[in-house]
Amino acid sequence: MNAIKIRASARASALAGIRGLGLSVSAVVVSCVLFSLTLISLVLMVIGVGLFTTPPVLAATRRWADRRRALAGAWADVPIPVPYRPLPADRRPGITGQVELVAHLLKDPATWRDLQWLFLDMTVGLMTALLPALLLFYPLEAVAYACGLWRVFENDPNWYAFIRVDSQETGLLTLPVGAVFLLLGLRWNPAILRSHFRFCQVLLAPTKQAALARRVETLTESRHDALDTSAAELRRIERDLHDGAQARLVAMGMNLGTIEALVEKDPAQAKKLLAAARASSAEALTELRDLVRGIHPPVLAERGLGDAVRALALRLPVETEVEVDLPGRADAPVESAAYFALSEVLTNAVKHSGADRLWIDLHGTDGMLRASVTDNGRGGARIGAGSGLSGVERRLGTFDGVLAVSSPAGGPTMVTMEIPCATFVSC
């Protein structure tokens, strides 16, 4: 086990050194070029040329910054949200629209933070990215000196760290020093690379004020979506009552009136109408139960989310496995949102995926309710306009929940949902 850990640590350190070398080269080349082009474009604003050069240059800068944000998450597990304000969708054509676009870009605080990051990426960022590569590759120079490479520079001796290399003895002395550098790299390279991305996070992440503004916008949109969803749900309930149970109850009342008139004149016909009224009442009761189940399933209220999802899976026409690991019950609104989100995802999977098997995983920990639905269907599911998953995303957004979809062509498809939940109350 120790050998496995040592190999994994060595692999991670070597990978961090190679990645750091790539980052340092890109910091010198790409960040330097983009910083220079941005400054030139801003200066050209004086003569009007910058109106046309600034948007593409800033767009390239944002793509470069987004690339670094993506690497921070993938290589060091350092999340860096995108801070940019959305571009105006109704920009006017011509020079007026161009002026509006440039003004929008220059008023965005993230634009100036990107410019600061480009400058510092060439200095501080370069050093924090280059250090893992130096710790990884610098010991190779010690090996070269120990093997006699110092003779090439015999007339002009070199230095290795603090050792003046001008003989075989001093060349051999570089080996323990190089070993120290190598050990430092094996121990600290991943942490040093992570510090580089932490530095990027300081400038590339939204400020607290921007994050608060974005949060307010998100809550406003979620509130509107919740109101729209509630209004649509009320209209559906009203329509179902009008077209279903209400119509049957009205017909049953008319039948009872007819029965009252026929009970003495034609008892046989009255019995037939009574049987029909009894059947109508049973059908109306079934429809009312289905309607109530659609509003809030009784099993969800009585037995909790886990049993409600198991009951939901039993009604599916596809073989379904359910795994539940919940420490207790979440708040009723959270359970309801998770249940109906899962119900819609399962309905979409049955209708559109072509799968013959589904897996549901439901668990809660660290104040988070997580649920995933996996199918072995054809794949290709996406979140977008007209997709049922968009409605699920809006439903979860009301509770600060998130939806993620992994659905490559050919499958499998995995839909994952997370909803913050303050506590789980033991049953």
- As given in the structure block, the two tokens for residue 182 are 């190598």
pLDDT at residue 154, rounded to an integer? 58
What pLDDT score was predicted for residue 36? Answer: 92
pLDDT band at 427; cut points 50, 70, 90: very low
* pLDDT reported for residue 211: 64
pLDDT exceeds cutoff 90 at 412: no
For residues 275 and 77, what is the distance between their CA atoms, to the nearest angstrom? 68
pLDDT value of residue 26: 87
Q: 118 falls in which pLDDT band (50, 70, 90)?
A: very high
Query: Is the confidence at residue 106, as pLDDT, over 50?
Result: yes
Q: Does the structure show a pLDDT above 90 at 39?
A: yes
Please tell me which residue, 227 or 7, carries the higher pLDDT value.
Answer: 7
Q: Please say if the pLDDT value at position 74 is more than 60.
A: yes
Percent of the chain with pLDDT over 70: 77
Cα 160 to Cα 23, 139, 140, 230, 420, distances in angstroms: 25, 10, 11, 72, 55
Tokens 């004086």, residue?
46
Q: How confident is the model at residue 425 (pLDDT cuts 50, 70, 90)?
A: low
**pLDDT over 70 (residue 289):** no
Report pLDDT for 343.
Answer: 82
Question: Are 348 and 378 in contact, with CB atoms under 8 Å apart?
Answer: no
What pLDDT was estimated at residue 416? 87
Q: Mean pLDDT in the chain?
A: 78
What's the average model confidence in pLDDT over 187-203? 89
The pLDDT-based confidence of 248 (bands split at 50, 70, 90) is: low
Between CA 289 and CA 314, with CA 415 as vertex, the angle to 5 degrees is 35
> In this predicted structure, which of 39-53, 119-133, 276-290, 408-422 has the lowest mean pLDDT?
276-290
What's the predicted TM-score (pTM) here?
0.58
Q: What is the pLDDT of residues 258-278, one digit of tens each?
A: 776 666 677 777 677 777 777
Average pLDDT, integer, range 7-25: 85
Mean pLDDT value across residues 130-159: 76
- Whether 219 shows a pLDDT value over 70: the answer reads no
CA atoms within 13 A on the CB side of 156: 2
Return the top range by mean pLDDT from 39-43, 278-282, 288-292, 309-313.
39-43
Percent of the chain with pLDDT over 90: 11
Average pLDDT score over residue span 3-32: 84
Weakest-pLDDT range from 32-36, 89-93, 384-388:
384-388
Residue 1, pLDDT score: 43
Q: How confident is the model over 374-390, as a mean pLDDT?
A: 74
Which of the two residues, 170 and 426, has the higher pLDDT score?
A: 170
Give 312-364 pLDDT, tens digit per residue: 888 888 888 888 888 777 777 778 778 888 888 888 888 887 888 888 888 88
pLDDT at 41 > cutoff 70: yes
